[in-house]
């Protein structure tokens, strides 16, 4: 699947981002591939929960059961840091989601993430895949399967563009 950059924040040197995904209620494997000039260098960090990852290079997965307003947000940084949140509704009721630490592998062209999603609700899911990219010169771009507004908003319903 190919992500598209938000038109209000075009990339300077990143040509495209592709995501390979095997999403299941058990082990999920995601790979984001970034084509173009290098990203802002990631400083290796312990594989611990870290807030604010979206402020620089961050690869994101959003999962929303079709029935209901609640959804989950997962952030994965090339540094190895990660975050997992449960939200009651659109940008409301944010709390830490229980999740075992994912395995984040830094690759020459992006990251591969293996995460256990076995604790998520059964049923049909709407999924959003996205990325915040900071290039070596500081240019930031916001990539998603779909965008729904004048500003990037990965929480917006339009961003949940994949149904599983």
Residues 6 or more apart whose CB falls under 8 angstroms from that of 155 comprise 62, 73, 87, 90, 91
pLDDT tens string 54-88: 998 899 999 999 988 999 999 999 889 999 999 99
Q: Judge whether residue 42 has pLDDT over 70.
A: no
Per-residue pLDDT, averaged over 6-23, amounts to: 93
* Residue 39 pLDDT: 64
What's CA 160's distance to the chain center, in Å? 12
Longest pairwise C-alpha distance within the chain: 43
CA angle, 72 then 2 then 45, to 5°: 55
Per-residue pLDDT, averaged over 87-91, amounts to: 96
- H or E stretch at 75: strand 71-76
| Domains recognised in the chain with CATH numbers | 2-163 (2.60.40.1190)
111 neighbors 147 (Cβ within 8 angstroms): no
Q: Judge whether residue 137 has pLDDT over 80.
A: yes
């Amino acid at each position: 699947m190919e992500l598209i950059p938000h038109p209000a924040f075009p990339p300077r040197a990143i040509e495209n981002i592709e995501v390979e995904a095997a999403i299941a209620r058990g082990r999920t494997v995601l790979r984001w591939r970034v084509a173009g000039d290098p990203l802002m260098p990631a400083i290796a960090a312990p594989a611990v929960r870290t807030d604010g990852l979206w402020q620089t290079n961050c690869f994101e997965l959003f999962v929303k059961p079709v029935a209901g307003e609640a959804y989950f947000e997962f952030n994965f940084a090339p540094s190895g840091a990660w975050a997992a949140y449960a939200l009651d509704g659109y940008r409301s009721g944010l709390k830490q989601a229980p999740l075992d630490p994912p395995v984040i592998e830094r690759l020459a062209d992006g990251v591969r993430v293996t995460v256990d999603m076995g604790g998520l609700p059964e049923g049909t899911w709407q999924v959003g895949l996205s990325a915040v990219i900071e290039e070596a010169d500081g240019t930031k771009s916001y990539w998603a399967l779909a965008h729904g507004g004048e500003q990037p908003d990965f929480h917006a319903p339009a961003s949940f563009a994949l149904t599983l």
